[in-house]
Structure formats: C-alpha cells, structure tokens
Homo-oligomer: A and B are copies of this chain.
Amino acid sequence: MHENEQQIEKLAVIGTGVIGNGWITRFLAKGYDVVAFDPAEGAEERTHQSIKRAWESMEKIGLADGASPDRLTFVPTVEEAVQDAYLIQENVPEREDLKKSVLESIDQFAKPDAIIGSSTSGIKPSTLQKNLKHPERLLVAHPFNPVHILPLVELVGGESTEQTIINQAVKFYESIHMKPLVVQKEIEGHVADRLMEALWREALHIVNDGIATTEEVDAAIVYGAGLRWAQMGPFLTFHLAGGEQGMRHMLEQFGPALKLPWTKLEAPELTDELKEKVVEGCETHAGDKSVAELEDKRDEFLVKLLDLVEEYWPESKGIATSEK
C-alpha cells in the first residue's frame, strides 16, 4: 500500500495506558514488530491482558500475514524503545510538562528521520515541538478509543513540521487501515474533541438542571442522532433534512434559529452533587456489567458496524488519501 513498507523495521509505543495499548494492538495486528516503554508497575502485564481481550476483534477485522501478539517487546528505557523505530507513538498522560519532557527524550534517541506522533487530545503540536532538536518530524496523531477499532486519526502539524512528514504519516496510518484527517490549522482540541466537548458540556447542563438523567441523555443520542452519525456527520444529515434543495434550503429555513439562546454557554460547576449524579447514572446504566465486559461488547458491535459503514458509505473514503 505504500512504498516505505520495506523500511519499517519496528514501531515504538511510549506510554501504555488505554490509548497506548490500543495502538500496540493495532500495530501488531497489521504485522509489525512493536517495542514498548512504560515505567508504571504492572504495565507489561496489563498490556498483554489488553491485547488478549482485543485479539478476537482483530481477527474479525483481518490480521496481516505474520501478525502476532508475540512480536511485542517491553524495554526498560525510552532509549531502547525508540532506537531504530520508523515511527514513535507517544501516549503519556495529558500534562504539557510531562509530554514535553518525554518527547525531548524520544527526540534525543530516535533516528533523525523517524516520525514522532503524539496522541495528545488537546495540546498544539507547535507547543510540543518547541525544544526538540528535530522539531520537523513531530506531529499530532490523535486517535479515538477504542484505538484498535475506530479508524479516525487526526494529523496536525505544527509551525516546524515538514509537509513531507505529514505526507509520510498519512501513508503510514492509511496502511494500518485508518482514516487520517489532516487538520488545516492547529487549534487546541483539534476538530473531533471540540465537537464532542461542545456536546458534552450541554449534556452536563441537562443533567445538572434535572432535565434528564445520564441514561436518558445517552438514549437521546443513541436512538436519534447517534444512529445517523455512524453514517453521516451533522452537515450531510442536515443536507438530507432540507428536502431536494438540501443544505441551501436548510440554512435559509433554520439559519435564524442559530441565534436562539438554547445551548448553555458555560460549563456547569463540577460540584460533588453533579459528580455523584453522573457517576451513579453511569453505574446504573452499566447494570451488573464491568467496564471490561462493556468494552468487549462494544468491540464486537463496532467490528460489525464498521462493515456496515464501509458497505453503505464508500463516498466518505474521499476525505483523506495519500493522493491528495
């Protein structure tokens, strides 16, 4: 699928929480050797458990020749992890100072032409690359949970990122069956998280104001817009709601409603009372199922849903291709 395939000897993953483990699983399933580093106690064992649980989904999606969980190695230092890696995926906790210091270590020991992808959900790449020796090869490569299944990855270059690195990253992430979305301007939160954040704040207000419970808010998404959003985003959805004239009619008819003071403008205070409402709501909704059981069920569902989306929405493949 891309000309560099032969050159990719190994991939490095730094930080093996939920996101790091998702990357490891995806890389392994695509037939790569992966080297991982995480200083937390028990990290290696948790990663193996996580791969084991996800592997059935990966088999359904389709494994590359020679793909195996055995091709993962944990090493005790960043240096050993990143040396000789074609691409290094950074997934340490979302704190600017920590990310910067880990990225500086990676930068110090990585090959000069290695790609460094940060999984940061909110920090701008220009901020992250400031003190690097080779800032031109750092970009944001922000995935979505569960990373081993969801195709979206936002690619964002900073002031110093070279276009060739972004092009190379697009090819690489496409080769592991992702849909890279190259974000044109860097902003905090990139694109997808800003959209989710807007909805999330409104959801908290609704619960805080006693309009609906967390489970009811979730149902209001799942049984309405959520079913549509698995196939069409907000724009195409409204294009279809406008009749034969599509979006043009829609904007003329509903444009003025934009100014209605519906949505709350500020996030509600996260009081203990609101926290309890939210936590208890989720625990009730989850019933007697652990988070792990819910995850397994989600993954099974998503694997089947992905097939459906592919079957019914081939047009969407147009968003980002290496030809672009």
Contact = CB atoms under 8 A, between A and B. Distances in A.
Contact of A291 (B209, B243, B270): B243
Nearest to A17: B243
A255 B234 contact: no
Interface residues of A, number: 116
A71 interface: no
A251 B279 contact: yes
A26 B144 CA distance: 36
Contacts of A302: 227-228, 231
Interface centre among A203, A221, A245 (most CB of B within 10 A): A221
Given A195-B206, A231-B305, A239-B282, 17 more contacts: A144-B225, A150-B227, A183-B216, A187-B211, A189-B262, A191-B211, A192-B224, A218-B233, A219-B233, A239-B283, A247-B278, A247-B279, A247-B282, A248-B275, A248-B279, A285-B315, A297-B313
A244 B202 CA distance: 26
A313 B144 CA distance: 21
Main secondary structure of the interface of A (DSSP, over half): helix
A9 interface: no
Contacts of A257: 94, 122
A227 B309 contact: yes
A295 B239 CA distance: 10
Nearest to A149: B227
Contacts of A154: 220
Interface centre among A191, A233, A238, A290 (most CB of B within 10 A): A233
A222 interface: yes
Nearest first, the 9 A-B pairs at minimum CB distance are A218-B233, A226-B229, A152-B224, A152-B223, A230-B230, A198-B202, A221-B233, A301-B312, A214-B235
A215 B320 CA distance: 10
Contacts of A183: 211-212, 216
Contacts of A242: 291
Contacts of A231: 222, 226, 298, 301-302, 305
A31 interface: no
A286 to B, nearest CB: 6
Interface string A185-200: 1011101111111111
A163 interface: no
B201 A263 contact: yes
A260 interface: yes
A39 interface: no
B226 A230 contact: yes
Contacts of A246: 279, 282-283, 286, 291
Contacts of A216: 181, 183, 191, 319-320
Given A218-B232, A241-B145, A308-B308, A195 B202 contact: yes
A298 B185 contact: no
A288 B144 CA distance: 31
Given A240-B295, A243-B18, A308-B305, A219 B181 contact: yes
